[in-house]
Every structure is written in structure tokens, then in C-alpha cells.
Homo-oligomer: A and B are copies of this chain.
Amino acid sequence: MSTTPAPDAYAEPHGSGGGVGVARVTLQTVADEVGVSRMTVSNAFSRPDQLSAELRERVLAAADRLGYVGPDPAARVLARGTTGAVGVLLTESVGTAFQDPIAAAFFGSVAEELAPTGLAVALLPSTGTEQTVPARDVPMDGALVYSCAGDMTAVTWLLRRKLPLVFVDQPPTGDASSVLLDDRPGARAAAQHLLDLGHRRIAFLTTAFGLPDGVAPDPADAGIGYVSRERVAGWMSALGPAGAQVTAIHITDNSEEFAEAGARTLLDLPERPTAVLCFSDLVAWTVERVARERGLAVPGDLSVVGYDDSPLARAAQPQLTTVRQDLAAKGRVAATTLTRAIARARGEEGAPTGPEHVLVPTELVVRASTGPVPQG
């Protein structure tokens, strides 16, 4: 015995890649070990009711012994035809999307609602390499298109794949479903609130909602500025008939930087408005700050209205009058609308027979940043 060379000496005769190539453990490996068919092992993992509890135990034990984790997800996806994941298509810059607490809260709510269904959420950057375009190459059962102004090529891929789609904060294309904020009534209420306080010289501070002059509107770009347009429409529906004197100031982006520039422009106006309707709480918060820096009182000299009712609205001094959107609800609705769209594509029972379009309500919240129009 002692002269017998160690068995290991003969292992891996050709010493392939230095041990990296350990033959993979598959269903078959386990099946051979237990002495059953591959199908039985598959059932032991995926359909326990198809075999006796006793055999299942033995199979699972053998699998454990061999270090078999379970059916390979990739292979399972191919064989089953479902992926267990849905995509979320984001704006050009994913980072920006996450900086925005509104977007972040929305994603969180979506993921949370989806978790119990076992669906994972895949974030799809709309850009990609030449080689890899997530919207085209990531396996998924459906996708959420979230306010993707501009870059429509990713959306085009999703459409071509005929994936169940839900457009959020953006009008839908084709037979996709949609979840839109019912912005107009909320915006209208905010404007009416200012009118009721006696304001007649009112400004908007909002992101651009039209295309640059001379650019032909591309139908594929229908989503651009949709949200701003709706909010402006809501504001105007109250202010127009009342004959208020309206000044619109456009800011490039919903960021503190641009908001600050916009606020300065606003306060430099020869006939300074007595109230301002802002695209977001961030903008409103910035206006408050700039006004304070100039020694103007809010709401004494200037009433400010925000939008979203984000945490910032309550953190601001004075706390912002704003239009609340229920982000948690929006996320939940988006998630269920998507799962229903997927069910529809699969022809499941009880699934909707066509695309669904949901409006999420908005509501005016009056706090301390608005007050009666100053005398004189």
C-alpha cells in the first residue's frame, strides 16, 4: 500500500487550467449520485409535490453533499420563458435620478411592492456600450419607463421586444399602460389658493416645457416636458380666467443651481411678482433662501408654493405650501400595473384585456410659505 502513488497524482491528467475547470455540478450530476432521472432532481427543487417527501430529502441531501446550489437561473429562465425580473428604464443619468428624492422614493416603493412577488428590479441605464444595450440585452418580463425625456432609443428597444411596458409620468406609446400624476387639479388648486389670498402678479418657476425654437417636435419625443406642461396647464386653468398677470421663468433643470439663477431673475423683475408657483419643492426651497438673502420676508413680501410635498417641504423655513403627490401610492400602482400587464401578455386569467391608464391624485397642502398679498 505504501508504495502505491497517491491517487491525486493521477487526477486531472491534463492539468487543464490549473484546477479552474472543475466540471460543473448540474442536475445530472445529482441525478447520477442518487440514481434517479434528471427530471426527478429538477422536481425536487422546483415542484416538491411531484415526488415523495422521502425521495426529495435524499435528493436534496445529495445535492448539498455535491455542493449543488439549485437549478441554474440562466438555464431556468430559458426553459421556463420567464425571468423573474422587471426593468426600470431611467433618465440618461442614473446618478441624477437617484439624487432626486422624489425619484428615489418612487423606486423604493416600486421595489417594495414587487418584492413579495419575487420579482427583482433591474435598473437599465439608457446608455450602454456599443456592444451592450441594457434595454435590448437584459432578460426581463416587463419594464417601467420612468420619465425618460429625450432619449427614446432605449424605449424603442423595449417596444420592439414587445415587452409589457408601463410608462410613468410620461404619456404611453402603443398599447403600453401608464401611471400618470393627476397634476392639473393639484396645480389648479395651488393657483386658486394664491388668487384667494389676493395675489394677481404671479410667476412660474419651472423647467422648460416646450422644445427649443426651430426644432420640429418629434413624435417619439412626446414625453419631453410632459410633467411641466401639465403643471403649467393646471396653474393657468385658474390664473387665466382670473386675468392674473403671469410671468414664466424657465429653468434648465430641476436642480438647486438652476433654481437659484431662476430665483434671482425672478426677484430682479422690475415689477416683482407677489407670489411664485414652483415646479418642485427644491425650487421653492431655493426661492425662500434667495429671498431671505435679499431681506425679503416669506410670505410677507413673497408667497411661495412648492410641488411634491417632499421632506424638504417640511424642512424649509417657513414650511412650504405645496402640492402633495403620494409617491408610495404611485410606486405601488406602477408595480401592480406592471404585473397586470405581464399577466395580460401571458394570457393569464383575470388579467386586464387592454392597457390600463391610472391617474394618481394630487392634493394642495397649505403651510406657512403663502399669505395674503402685501398691501400697496
| A-to-B contact residues, CB < 8 Å | 17, 20, 69-70, 73-78, 81, 83-85, 87, 90, 93-99, 101, 104-105, 107-109, 111-112, 114-125, 127-129, 131-134, 136-140, 157, 160-162, 312, 315, 317, 328, 347
Contact = CB atoms under 8 A, between A and B. Distances in A.
A94 B118 contact: no
Given A73-B137, A124-B120, A111 B83 contact: no
Given A73-B137, A98-B109, A116-B129, 4 more contacts: A75-B78, A101-B101, A118-B134, A120-B122
Given A78-B75, A95-B108, A84 B115 contact: no
A64 B99 CA distance: 39
Given A74-B83, A137-B84, A98 B94 contact: no
A280 to B, nearest CB: 14
A343 to B, nearest CB: 14
Contacts of A157: 69
Given A95-B112, A129-B118, A134-B120, A78 B70 contact: no
A96 B108 contact: yes
Q: How many copies does the complex hold?
A: 2
Contacts of A133: 118
A95 B328 CA distance: 9
A170 B134 CA distance: 29
Given A95-B111, A108-B94, A112-B94, A74 B128 contact: no
Contact of A132 (B78, B118, B161): B118
Contacts of A120: 87, 122-125, 134, 138
Given A83-B74, A136-B70, A105 B115 contact: no
A42 B164 CA distance: 26
Contacts of A96: 108
Nearest to A98: B108
A134 B85 CA distance: 9
Contacts of A94: 108, 111-112, 115
Contacts of A74: 74, 77-78, 81, 83, 139
Contacts of A85: 122, 138
Nearest to A285: B315
B139 A139 contact: yes
Nearest to A20: B347
Contacts of A123: 111, 120-123
Contact of A98 (B17, B104, B134): B104
